[in-house]
Structure 1
Amino acid sequence: MPWIETVAYEDATGKLKMLYDRVKGPNDNVDNIMMMHSLRPHSMEGHMALYKYVLHHSGNTLPKWFLEVLGVWVSALNECNYCVAHHFAGLKRILGDDARAHAILAAIEARDLDAAPLDAAEKQAMAYARQLTRDPSGLTENDVISLRAAGFSDGEILEINQVSAYFSYANRTVLGLGCSTKGDILGLSPNNSDDPDSWNHS
């Protein structure tokens, strides 16, 4: 059970019901992380907009599977098992290579970037995400210069930054309110990236 009151889908009315209908998955399932916002629907609206825009928007140019890798990495660093479970399931589905996905997860769990089946640029992005998560004030312009030298455009550096920052926010929502995966369907996401207003999970 979460540590604060939440409103179930069947009990929702008004704006909350409207938002639940926007974010729900199969069988009217609403992810528990969204239900954490049920007493303040406006914060759910803000959370979902941020999530959709930084991770599931057609304006991004980095592959979605790698953005999910960053999310799993940051969540593991923050010891947020909820987000690791959800986004590893999504990563595995999007990547379509179970062996590689599990090898990435094993490297993440071991905190061993060298062991991850990722290229040098991707590992550089992972190192940046680790620094942003663990010691953000320790970052300098040289860290961004290193990402640029690895081949990332400034827009892609922004994507790396925003996805990493978003997951720390989501992790703190989960860990601070006692959110669990009980009843959730793992790995669903708002997959219509061409429509930023489409939040339904599938």
Structure 2
Amino acid sequence: MYLETVSDEAADGEIAAIYAAERADMGMVMNATRSLSARPDMAAPVERLLHQLRDGFSLGLEAFRMITLVVAKHVPSSYCSHVYFRGLTRFVGREQALAIQSDHRTAGLSARDVAMLDYAEQIATDASRIGEADIQRLRDLGFSDLNIADIAYAAAFRCFLSRYFDAVGATAEPDLLDDDPAVRAQLAVGKR
């Protein structure tokens, strides 16, 4: 980490609560979470926004994790690629998660999921090129405006967080890395 962050011993108030919740949920405090404490007054609002978006995601947690994995690849963010690959494997299995990360268009997904991930990818690479036709494509596949807004929020928020993590030097914890060196190499899309 390039910046000084709040240690476990020095954590109090909202930072202590954030650390305790993550430790209870994951058995550790992630470097990403620690990196937010470099600006303590921003850590809780950022965490709340992430949890509100993820926990209330209108398309479900599996879709949220697919979106974040695809976006992390295109940011590019090695850290978020490792983390969200691990999270997505719990839903679709390791091989399917690898296929989605490699190229979601050839991963055997439904036309609806491909369109969702195309939209998320476009947000990550150049959202200024998105037009009404892109939104209509999603509507034609049954996405509501709430769903489309959720995809945009998830993709844009992942861009923000991934870039922040890289900018302050957060690195993936060894426990979150895949055991296979070839998979780790595939997921190392940005800073290593």
1:73 aligns with 2:64: no
Q: Aligned-pair distance for 1:133? A: 1.4
Of 128, 132, 135 in structure 1, the residue corresponding to residue 123 of structure 2 is 132
Work out the number of aligned pairs and report it. Answer: 178
> What secondary structure is seen at the aligned counterpart in 1 of 2:102?
helix
In structure 2, the CA distance between the partners of 1:26 and 1:129, relative to structure 1 (3 Å rule), is closer
In structure 2, the CA distance between the partners of 1:55 and 1:88, relative to structure 1 (3 Å rule), is same
TM-score normalised by structure 1 residue count: 0.79
The answer on whether the counterparts of 1:75 and 1:84 sit within 8 Å (CA) in structure 2 is yes
Unaligned runs of 5+ in 1: 108-112, 188-202
Q: Distance in 2 between matches of 1:125 and 1:26?
A: 29
Unaligned runs of 5+ in 2: 179-192
Aligned to 2:134: 143
1:10 aligns with 2:1: no
Aligned to 1:198: none
Aligned to 1:102: 98
Considering only aligned residues, what root-mean-square deviation do their CA atoms show, in Å?
Answer: 2.1
Q: Distance in 1 between matches of 2:95 and 2:176?
A: 22
Q: Distance in 1 between matches of 2:142 and 2:161?
A: 28
In structure 2, the CA distance between the partners of 1:13 and 1:63, relative to structure 1 (3 Å rule), is closer
Aligned to 1:200: none
Q: Aligned-pair distance for 1:41? A: 2.1
Of 86, 111, 119 in structure 1, the residue corresponding to residue 110 of structure 2 is 119
Summarize deviations over 1:116-164 as a string: whole Å, max 9, x none.
2211111111111122111111111221111101111111111111111
> What secondary structure is seen at the aligned counterpart in 2 of 1:157?
helix
The answer on whether the counterparts of 1:72 and 1:87 sit within 8 Å (CA) in structure 2 is yes
Partner letter of residue 148 of structure 1?
A: R
1:89 aligns with 2:80: no
Q: Distance in 1 between matches of 2:59 and 2:26?
A: 32
> What secondary structure is seen at the aligned counterpart in 2 of 1:9?
coil
Q: Distance in 2 between matches of 1:45 and 1:4?
A: 18
Summarize deviations over 1:29-83 as a string: whole Å, max 9, x none.
21111101223222111111111111122xx331311210110100000120100
In structure 2, the CA distance between the partners of 1:154 and 1:36, relative to structure 1 (3 Å rule), is same
Partner letter of residue 103 of structure 1?
A: A
> What secondary structure is seen at the aligned counterpart in 1 of 2:9?
helix
Q: Distance in 1 between matches of 2:60 and 2:108?
A: 15
> What secondary structure is seen at the aligned counterpart in 2 of 1:83?
helix
The answer on whether the counterparts of 2:19 and 2:29 sit within 8 Å (CA) in structure 1 is yes
Runs of 4+ residues deviating >6 angstroms: none
